[in-house]
Structure 1
């Protein structure tokens, strides 16, 4: 059985994540989605809890890729602080896997050094489809909803996530600029 590992923070889950999730799940029999930085929340870069992110991803799977839902496993993975140790910590938390799906150069390097196959998932509209851009738009009252699937909008609104992101941006010294992706 070919089992892949797809790593992300999903802060929040956007249309690019959904596209990659579908793409990656087509390449393997089973896909483990490691929800990274699970120990972080209520921070500028990590506003949502691991539980909230898992709920958002599950809702998107139910709405958008029902037929693949049973072959996708969601597992929260905390940060360790030492990159090389982090990959081994992941191994303690998730089922065995043969492949890692990532476009992050550092993650690719670490897993390649361990002899694990790396596949770079297709990305769509990466210039705008990033969680950083979604958070920036939320904080600056721009149209963030166009970047995320409907279940993400619904759950962010249910948990009052818009207000949370705005408060976190206001608490930070690095205030949002007026630049955003059109």
Structure 2
């Protein structure tokens, strides 16, 4: 039995979509923790250009990149947007507490990529496993924009995500989002 530094490592993000830097983070988390808890942000049911995939779809996309053994070590909590840091931190802590035990050693895994990563400092009671920039600091925003243009930039995605994205392109929801993106893009000219 492997002795892990943590019982649970929490990985907070929107994962819209799940790319290679996310995959590397989870692989590192699985080396240091018995379980990885994905705190899936923006988990409300409305889709938009920034959040095209529902939380359950993101779960499917993420899990498709891992072995059955690793899948058994991954949990998810769904964090809706509350637009208030104090309420959001409380919500994340409550959700994590609902899938852990009182004496578990909980840590937070992440990487300070820019000012949007400030939330990593909002959980001082969780030990931080800070990572250096992974895979050339991949950002999901340009990957989503390319996706709406019909491109899947496969060099930035693990195989399970590529397959998920390809299948999602055959969906009416994708066509509606793509049309919305094109309309928005035209209005910015």
User: With structure 2 as the length reference, what TM-score do the two structures score?
Assistant: 0.78
Instruction: Give the equivalent residue in structure 2 for 1:124.
Output: 134
SS at match of 2:182: helix
Unaligned stretches of 5+ residues in structure 1: 178-182
Q: What do residues 95-152 of structure 1 show as CA deviations (whole Å, max 9, x unaligned)?
A: 246211122441122112xx3212213442234x221121122233455122111211
Cα offset for 1:2?
2.2
User: 142-151 or 155-164: which moved more?
Assistant: 155-164
**What RMSD, in angstroms, separates the aligned Cα atoms of the two structures?**
2.5
Paired positions, count: 171
Q: Give yes or no for contact 1:138–1:165 (8 Å, CA) kept in 2.
A: no
SS at match of 1:132: helix
Instruction: Give the equivalent residue in structure 1 for 2:106.
Output: 98
Cα offset for 1:49?
1.2
SS at match of 2:43: coil
Q: Give yes or no for contact 1:169–1:176 (8 Å, CA) kept in 2.
A: no
Runs of 4+ in 1 over 6 A off after TM superposition: 174-177
Instruction: Give the equivalent residue in structure 2 for 1:81.
Output: 83
User: With structure 1 as the length reference, what TM-score do the two structures score?
Assistant: 0.80
Unaligned stretches of 5+ residues in structure 2: 1-5
Q: Give yes or no for contact 2:152–2:162 (8 Å, CA) kept in 1.
A: no
Is 2:114 the counterpart of 1:109? no
Instruction: Give the equivalent residue in structure 1 for 2:3.
Output: none
